[in-house]
Amino acid sequence: MVFRRRLMRIPQLILLLLVASAAVVFAAQHRAEAFKAGLRLERTLPTKGVHLDHLRARDRARHGRSLLGTSGVVDFPVEGSANPFTVGLYYTRVRLGNPAKDYYVQIDTGSDALWVVCSPCDGCPSSSELNIQLNFYEPDKSSTSTVLTCSDDRCNSALQIGEAMCPSVSSSDACSYSFKYGDGSGTAGYYVYDTIYFDTITGNQQPLNSSAQIVFGCSNSQSGDLTKSDKAVGGIFGFGQNGLSVISQLSATGVVPSVFSHCLRGSESGGGILVLGEIVEPGIVYTPLVPSQPHYNVNLESIAVNGHTLSIDSSAFTTTNTQGTIVDSGTTLAYLAEPAYEPFVNAIVASVSSSVRSVPAPGGNECFVTSSSLDESFPSVTLNFKGGASLSLNPEDYLLQQGAIDNTIIWCIGFQNNQGSGITIIGDLVLKDKIVVYDLANQRIGWRSYDCSQSVNVSTSPSRNQFLNTGQFSINGASHIIYHKLLWSATGFLFLFLFFM
């Protein structure tokens, strides 16, 4: 009787174990949604010194041009560094044409168009000291290439915003462009329509080799600093908001959401994360974009040093046609509008600890040495934006290492005076070691400090609130492995129970 009662209880126990197993499997499936794409890339960078004056000149040069004026997450690799004495820029790799070739292009949120060097090209360097291969795009050798003509509607749109030109009234003429820099350097060429290839990470945890047709520039002439090989790249990848930018083109066709994000690593090894999608992490704060502006303008309202708001007339930060605050990953340093610069520097100097002493430096820069750590020696800085969003800066975010005296590091204020200008530019000096989200759909920019060597969560669909975790995809099929291990554990437990009954 006892044995029979035990047999009668077995179906109930089996049912309970099956329910428990199902619950474990369901939890595993739910947890699997959090194990997604590995978008992290780290590189070892060459070391090469660059004078600060040259960096300022290069930034001024590119400002001469740039300031005039879905179903998945697309992942781009990131190389380069914010350190102006090694690289001083971040770049990525794009694949274009058929057969496809790789092109290394600077990541630039301060301009719109993607352009690459073409063959033939007058003045374009054939090699780079960044240890990257410089390929030349050849439209006539790509089976999917079409030269954009002046009669094309996309050319007309570019003409209206000053990103294109047509030499004559002939509709068969190529839609051309010419980007000039303040120091006389520049690039010129024409637009083509061809295939771009990329990795799309979707909700099923698998990468897809995707492609799309886009318009981009074919540069056949370069001048000035663009002809030099020390920091040569194969073009510029503009991430602006106008219709010719890649993010605008791909989001308009539903290939990607209307948002992109980056996390640029500030250490010597550089690298980082760049995705066409929204990085979603706790603590990101947002400020609205200033409407109807050609760049990523935000409303900077005040600056505080050690918690004390500086006495700067608020009109110095008002956005107009000639002034305002721009977020620009294509700028190495950071620049303050002239009325804000002197109050900022004076506040830093007045707030350093007793362990800090000033040292003479060329060019009028304020430079220091200290016997203590940077955090103990220098004040915190806060940039306050519209909507209550603040950007907190550590000393590394506004200081640059400038050599040494008796084995003691010289630190100089990296913020530059944008003399004669009301433009404030938040460049890589500030943007590094932070998640930055450019939410074009909602016209806002968000940020938070972050270790960009770590993984991040990326939204694949704003409507479904589905996420990809970038730290897991490099372990191929990790979430599936966890799912099957839990399934076999539950089944094995049931088998052992029945065997020993």
Catalytic residues, by residue number, are 108, 328
Collapsing DSSP states into helix, strand and coil, what is residue 31?
Answer: helix
Determine the Cα–Cα distance for residues 301 and 253; give it in Å rounded to an integer. Answer: 36
DSSP 273-332: EEEESEE--TT-EEEEBPTT-SS-EE-EEEEEETTEEP---GGGG---SSEEEEE-TT-S
- Nearest Cα residue to 130 out of 230, 217, 33, 236: 230
Which amino acid belongs to residue 345? Answer: V
212-to-23, 89, 96, 237, 432 alpha-carbon distances in Å: 41, 27, 10, 16, 30
| Neighbouring C-beta atoms of residue 65, cutoff 10 Å | 19
Q: Kindly report whether the peptide bond that precedes residue 99 is cis, defined as omega within 30 degrees of 0.
A: yes
Question: Residues 326, 426: contact at Cβ < 8 Å?
Answer: yes
Q: Which of 123, 218, 212 is nearest to 164 (CA)?
A: 218
Instruction: Say how far apart CA 279 and CA 469 lie, in whole Å.
Output: 10
401 conformational bin, left if phi > 0, alpha if psi -120 to 50, beta if neither: beta
Q: How far is CA 379 from CA 336, 382, 394, 399, 463, in A?
A: 18, 10, 8, 11, 42
